[in-house]
Structure 1
Amino acid sequence: MLSLLILAIAFAGVVLPVLAAAVAASRGAPDAAPAAPAPLGAAIPLAGLGLTWRRLRTVRTGRGERGFWVGDGDPARYTRAFRLAKGPLYEAGYSWGTAERSGGQVQPVCWEDPSQGDQVSLDAITAAEAALAADDVRIAEAETRRAREAELEAQLNGDARRADMEALQQSLRVKGWAWSRRKRDVAAALLAEKPGPGGAPRAAAAKLAREMVAEVDAAIEAVKARVASDQSHADWLAKAEDEDVRRAVHYATQILSDLDGDMASIENGVGWSKAHSHTGHVLAALPELSIIEATHALAAVWRHRRQVRPEFLRRIYGEQA
């Protein structure tokens, strides 16, 4: 009797639900949907702070199980966010670490604590995004303020800066022989720069141009002072006292300087030699030669006399030529 009762109960447990489902279907009632499994890693946003988050594994730690995530992509925004909102991000498990296939490179990671629930991570991302937005506003305001200050400063000092750049162009044009190749390259780059606020040259460019012109002028003056104080060419002194000789030898220095376009950087037997190039160009650029300066010119031109026409040499050196 007991076995028959058990069999009836079992039959009812199988058949009755089937019958109930058939009745429900006949009445148009929807079937009960099976429960879908929770998506893996739904506890943290899969995209946030400029990165795509990827779950690697579950790790058992001394504080319980943690889901270990890595953030793929450019970490620039995450870096800023971590600096601005480190507290809430760190509390939600976000930090920096290494992972497989990263070659030991530190990258954004997240140690997800399932016991905290989704909201902790969402709140951390929201706080970080708010901090980034506030920082963007601060940066934009600072840029606007700097731009206004630069425009005002250009209005006050623009003319002086333009004068510095014009002086640079003039020095290159008139005293180009006194400029080294490196300085000429720097000067060309300064002159090619786009103007700053208000159409004025940048303050740093104008300052460098002014300093370079001053350096070249100082170098020229140093050569002139050395020539004036050097008495090693006293044997030419008597000839240098003749005004016609001074004019003729001055013209000869200009001829040799015109030939010396390479500033003696190439040994081609044309123009000045390396020993006389700088001094020769300085003497040629002077409006006229003093007696002491003419003695140096006589000595220098004599060393390069093969490049000067014989009849012109006789005007300078007489029958000695």
Structure 2
Amino acid sequence: MLSLALLILTAAGVVLPILAAAVAASRGASEPAVPVPTPLGAAIPLSALGLTWRRLRDVRTGRGPRVLWLGEGDSTRYSRAFRLAKAPLYDAGYSWGTVERSGGAVQPVCWEDPAQGDAVAVDAIAAAEASLAEDDRRLALEEQRRRQAEALDAELNGDARRGDLEALRQSLRLKAWAWSKRKREVAEALLREPDGANGAPKAATAKLARDLVAEVEAAIEAVRVRVAKDPARDWLARAEDPDVRMAVHYAVKLLTDMDRDMASLDNGVGWGRSHTHAGHVLASLPELSVIEATNALAAVWRHRKQLRPEVRARVFGSEQA
């Protein structure tokens, strides 16, 4: 019944004015202009710029009557088109606004001016699509150039970057004691990074690998410098004996092998917290200088009870040390 009533009202909206004009003419009155009802279809393209346009209502504005349309769907393409061809779209009534319970969110809208006719909206959409196509060509060309540049860069620098990643692997393997948990996690994530062009590591990945290795080496060197600047004088004379230096180096390595937890547990095994970093650094050296052996003797003395009597005898001159 409701549909039938709407049909009758719609027909009346068209037929009655015509009948009224005919009656007026038969009575000798001047014929009034017959109003044409606003179509339920569209003067704007109903599907344009990735959106579906839905007619909301007729609005009387300070610039005259307008028909308000709402663009529904993913507005990504519309946003890009509006940036590239704002002038023609804006002239045709396209813009952004808050309507229909949007919660304040800005949505694509069109304030259609019925007096402009269909051509304005159609031409604006055509201009926007042309701008999008041109921008697509530009982006494709930029991507092509970027890939070519990456390929050339990988050819020129790929071996050096592979070397940076290999140096990182070696440092993690051979100097694990010098890597903090945070640095280790970053390094392991880097080693899982997919390669770039031509199977070469990406430039950013290689640079970060170099930086991490450099930081770890700097930390190791800082310990060596600190050890060299603070010799324990009580052990200096003994450290001048080459056999003692070899013996204490061996003792340092034994304690370091036991120090798997890097003194994180108070278990009396391996180095204590005050010596763990220096102990690992000294153990990693190919040999000890007199100053380094002096500090090694002082550190081992604090942990000598973990060593076998014969090792203590070689290091300190007595099994009862």
The CA distance in 1 between the partners of 2:204 and 2:77, in whole Å, is 32
Structure 1 residue aligned with 2:165? 165
Structure 2 residue aligned with 1:52? 52
The CA distance in 1 between the partners of 2:169 and 2:85, in whole Å, is 52
**What displacement does 1:267 show?**
3.3
Structure 2 residue aligned with 1:142? 142
Range with greater deviation from structure 2 (303-312 or 190-199): 303-312
Structure 2 residue aligned with 1:281? 280
**What displacement does 1:310 show?**
3.2
The CA distance in 1 between the partners of 2:176 and 2:71, in whole Å, is 57
Please show how residues 73-112 of structure 1 align to structure 2 within 5 Å. Answer: 73-112=73-112
Residues 204, 59 of structure 1: alpha-carbon distance in 2 compared, 3 angstrom cutoff: same
**What displacement does 1:38 show?**
6.5
The CA distance in 1 between the partners of 2:191 and 2:147, in whole Å, is 22
Question: Aligned AA for 1:238?
Answer: A
**What displacement does 1:318 show?**
2.9
Bigger-Rg structure (1/2): 1
Query: What per-residue deviation string (whole Å, max 9, x for no partner) do you get for residues 86-108 of structure 1?
Result: 01100010001101211001111
Structure 2 residue aligned with 1:179? 179
Query: What per-residue deviation string (whole Å, max 9, x for no partner) do you get for residues 285-306 of structure 1?
Result: 0011111111111111122223
Range with greater deviation from structure 2 (47-56 or 300-309): 300-309
**What displacement does 1:114 show?**
0.9
The CA distance in 2 between the partners of 1:310 and 1:106, in whole Å, is 81
Structure 2 residue aligned with 1:222? 222
**What displacement does 1:122 show?**
1.2
Range with greater deviation from structure 2 (215-224 or 268-277): 268-277
Is 1:127–2:116 an aligned residue pair?
A: no
SS at 1:274 equivalent:
coil
Structure 2 residue aligned with 1:31? none
**What displacement does 1:210 show?**
1.2
SS at 1:221 equivalent:
helix
SS at 1:71 equivalent:
strand
Instruction: Identify unmatched segments of 5+ residues in structure 1.
Output: 1-36
Q: Return the TM-score normalized by structure 1.
A: 0.84
Name the count of aligned residue pairs: 285
**What displacement does 1:206 show?**
0.9
Query: What per-residue deviation string (whole Å, max 9, x for no partner) do you get for residues 61-115 of structure 1?
Result: 0111111111111111111000000011000100011012110011111111111
Structure 2 residue aligned with 1:72? 72
Structure 1 residue aligned with 2:205? 205
The CA distance in 2 between the partners of 1:268 and 1:117, in whole Å, is 87
Structure 1 residue aligned with 2:248? 249
The CA distance in 1 between the partners of 2:241 and 2:122, in whole Å, is 95
Question: Aligned AA for 1:315?
Answer: R
Identity of aligned residues (%): 70
Q: Return the TM-score normalized by structure 2.
A: 0.84
Residues 256, 124 of structure 1: alpha-carbon distance in 2 compared, 3 angstrom cutoff: same
SS at 1:153 equivalent:
helix
Residues 266, 97 of structure 1: alpha-carbon distance in 2 compared, 3 angstrom cutoff: farther
Structure 1 residue aligned with 2:271? 272
**What displacement does 1:239 show?**
2.1
Residues 175, 48 of structure 1: alpha-carbon distance in 2 compared, 3 angstrom cutoff: same
Instruction: Identify unmatched segments of 5+ residues in structure 2.
Output: 1-36
Question: Aligned AA for 2:117?
Answer: G
Question: Aligned AA for 2:92?
Answer: A
Query: What per-residue deviation string (whole Å, max 9, x for no partner) do you get for residues 250-278 of structure 1?
Result: 11111222222232233333322221111
Question: Aligned AA for 1:288?
Answer: E
**What displacement does 1:180 show?**
1.1
Range with greater deviation from structure 2 (298-307 or 84-93): 298-307
The CA distance in 1 between the partners of 2:110 and 2:287, in whole Å, is 80
The CA distance in 2 between the partners of 1:268 and 1:100, in whole Å, is 69
SS at 1:201 equivalent:
coil
Residues 128, 54 of structure 1: alpha-carbon distance in 2 compared, 3 angstrom cutoff: same
